[in-house]
Chains A and B, each alone.
Chain A
Amino acid sequence: MSDTETPAELNLSTEPDLAHAVEEEEEEDDDDMEQITAQKVLEILETAWINETNAPELLQHQSDMLELMISQVSHMEEQMRDLDKNDFRAVVHSMELERIRYIMASYLRCRLQKIETFTQYIINQDAAREPDDKRLSPEEAKFAQELSQNVDEYFHKVATQYMPNQQRGEAEQRIITPNLMSHVFLKANVAVPAVIVGVDDEEVDLAPGSQHIIPYQLVADLIQTNKAQLI
């Protein structure tokens, strides 16, 4: 068998590789970033994916984690190139990579759908945020800006330029906003005391692992801080 030695090579012990990748990309970054394992990155991305698909608004982007995972995936593919395609290990590795790619694609697609629907709202919200708190990644921000401009230009060309000024409608009025009071399913990751759960300021303590259905806005900060996650 030609690939008898490959197991050693395929020892894609993900930790050192990834740490290496991080060092290369963000040399000036602090130590705890370097410690992160590929497994942890995947967990973070999975949570981000599920949160994103269930949240009515756009959540914080995960460019760093995505970048790490993408380089990890291509690194894996690189190593697999030497393996026989029908090798049991090659099949399993590529199955896993397909699963990871699905999560990343589904996650990004979900974000794009939100950006396309709530374009102006998201742009406005992000404009008021500090650079570190921006929800849009630089690429998404560019996409959102261009989309918004194109749509405006299109409307102007086909319709609004032929309308008298006062009938064009206020730009403010045309913004599509998500319903932040949408009900979501939530699971607490840690104990969270005194969460307001109703309009009349009723409070409930969330036990770790407990599950709830609740308007999104009342728990948005818990999701942001990872004290709870959407399910």
Chain B
Amino acid sequence: MDPTTIEFIGEKCMISIIPNFSSEPLHLIYGSVGPFRAGFPVFVPLWLATHLRKQQKCRIVPPEWMDMDILEEIKEEEKRSKFFTKMPSEHYMVVAQLVMSTAPDDVPRCEELRTVIKDIFDTREAKLRTSIDAFIKGEGTYAKLDNLTLLEIHSVRPILPWSLDHISRYQRVATASQRDTSMLGLNTTVGSSTVPGSSATPASLSNSLYTQ
């Protein structure tokens, strides 16, 4: 999942716009939006908001959290907390990025906000790296990642899951070889006890290693 796919998913978020035209409701498959009345705010999906904005058909109302005080608060909280704090939007980076690049004029103090949001992201990313380090040193292959957003997860994907795949593969081999000392030379299926569903052939050693 690259950032463009994450953006695509994040574009489903609803955002408020103030249209400069009037129209009956639109019955989209995703759900109905509208009616549109010139000058009155209405919630639409982000992809529609950016489209209409590019057509000069609306103004985007920045979400409440796109505010210096709130974001500064979040930033401090993020620095204080050992854990990942809950973000005001599941796709805060995508929303910020799209709104601020399509409609910088609709966002007061746009550049400052951009910097704070980037700071928050960087703080969280650094925290993620530190916790990964601790987690891998702790011999785990499972970890809880509450409140991380997709784009933050992306920053360690695929390198983190792939590294863990290899680590646990080698761990299985290492423990299997220790376990099998008493049966040296027997056709034991190395490590396949942890991999049910792998080809359960009466495998030779080489065969079973393929399943690792």
**Chains A and B touch (C-beta atoms under 8 A apart):** yes
Take A92-B51, A211-B146, A213-B143 as given contacts and tell me if A177 and B30 are in contact as well, using a CB distance cutoff of 8 Å: no
Interface range on chain B (Cβ under 8 Å from partner): 35 or more
A180/B28 in contact, CB under 8 A: no
Q: Which residue of A lies closest to B168 (CB)?
A: A181
A39/B194 in contact, CB under 8 A: no
User: Counting chain A CB atoms within 10 Å of each CB, which of B31, B142, B172, B197 scores highest?
Assistant: B142
Q: Which residue of A lies closest to B51 (CB)?
A: A95
Those of A145-202 within 8 Å (CB) of chain B: 172-173, 175, 177, 179-185, 197-199, 202
Take A173-B210, A213-B145 as given contacts and tell me if A183 and B27 are in contact as well, using a CB distance cutoff of 8 Å: no
A182 and B169 CA atoms in complex are apart in Å by: 10
Those of B1-53 within 8 Å (CB) of chain A: 1, 8-9, 21, 23-24, 26-31, 47-48, 51
Take A7-B24, A39-B31 as given contacts and tell me if A183 and B211 are in contact as well, using a CB distance cutoff of 8 Å: no
B24/A182 in contact, CB under 8 A: no
Q: Which residue of B lies closest to A7 (CB)?
A: B24
Is the C-beta of A10 less than 8 angstroms from some C-beta in chain B? yes
Identify which of A10, A91, A183, A217 contacts B164 (C-beta below 8 A). Answer: A183
Identify which of A11, A199, A213, A215 contacts B160 (C-beta below 8 A). Answer: A213
A211/B23 in contact, CB under 8 A: no
Output the least CB separation between A194 and chain B (Å). 14
Take A92-B28, A181-B168 as given contacts and tell me if A231 and B150 are in contact as well, using a CB distance cutoff of 8 Å: yes
B28/A172 in contact, CB under 8 A: no
In the bound complex, residues from chain B placing their C-beta under 8 Å from that of A11 are: 27
A179 and B162 CA atoms in complex are apart in Å by: 11
A4 and B162 CA atoms in complex are apart in Å by: 56
Is the C-beta of A142 less than 8 angstroms from some C-beta in chain B? no
Take A72-B29, A198-B141 as given contacts and tell me if A215 and B168 are in contact as well, using a CB distance cutoff of 8 Å: yes
Is the C-beta of B140 less than 8 angstroms from some C-beta in chain A? yes
Those of A1-52 within 8 Å (CB) of chain B: 7, 10-14, 38-39, 42, 50
Those of B156-172 within 8 Å (CB) of chain A: 157, 160-162, 164-165, 168-169, 172
Identify which of B30, B147, B162, B194 contacts A42 (C-beta below 8 A). Answer: B30
Output the least CB separation between A1 and chain B (Å). 12
A181/B195 in contact, CB under 8 A: yes
Inter-chain contact total with CB atoms closer than 8 Å: 117
Is the C-beta of B144 less than 8 angstroms from some C-beta in chain A? yes
A213/B164 in contact, CB under 8 A: yes
In the bound complex, residues from chain A placing their C-beta under 8 Å from that of B1 are: 53-54
In the bound complex, residues from chain B placing their C-beta under 8 Å from that of A54 are: 1
In the bound complex, residues from chain B placing their C-beta under 8 Å from that of A96 are: 28-30
Is the C-beta of B70 less than 8 angstroms from some C-beta in chain A? no
A183/B150 in contact, CB under 8 A: no
A72 and B29 CA atoms in complex are apart in Å by: 9
B125-167 contact mask (Cβ, 8 Å, vs A): 1 or 0: 0000000000000001111111110100100010011101100
- Partner-A contacts on B (CB < 8 A): 1, 8-9, 21, 23-24, 26-31, 47-48, 51, 57, 140-148, 150, 153, 157, 160-162, 164-165, 168-169, 172, 194-199, 201, 207, 210-211
11 additional A-B residue pairs with CB within 8 Å, beyond A212-B145, A217-B195: A14-B27, A88-B21, A96-B28, A96-B29, A181-B194, A185-B157, A197-B142, A198-B140, A211-B148, A214-B141, A218-B142
